[in-house]
Amino acid sequence: MDEALGDLVRIAEFNLSRSEEWADKVQDRFLERGDALGDRPFSGRPLGGTLRALSVPDVQYVLFHTVDDEEVRILWVRSTREDDRR
């Protein structure tokens, strides 16, 4: 979870340095997709075990998360342009 928060700060700073409008859009989409996971925790494609990847294609990011006992944890966030291998 700490890594995901760090990712969000890094992404926000990067996007703000280029366009406040774009940074706001990305943040809004992250919140929308994160909230949707509360209703549909098994959204996204399975990557093995409990790990899943939920795309946010219109802003080119992916939310990597796990689902355990109906609890969703967003572990990290990556741009589709970044290397997301762990």
The reported pLDDT for the residue numbered 20 is 95
Residue 1 predicted with pLDDT over 60: no
What pLDDT digit, counting tens, does each position of 29-40 carry? 999 999 999 899
Domains and CATH numbers, the chain: 2-79 (3.30.2310.20)
* Banded pLDDT at 83 (limits 50, 70, 90): low
State the DSSP string of the chain: -HHHHHHHHHHHHHHHTT-HHHHHHHHHHHHHHHHHHHH-TT-SEEEETTEEEEEEGGGTEEEEEEEETTEEEEEEEEETTS----
Measure the CA–CA gap between 47 and 61, rounded to whole angstroms: 16
Residue 61 predicted with pLDDT over 80: yes
Residue 68 predicted with pLDDT over 60: yes
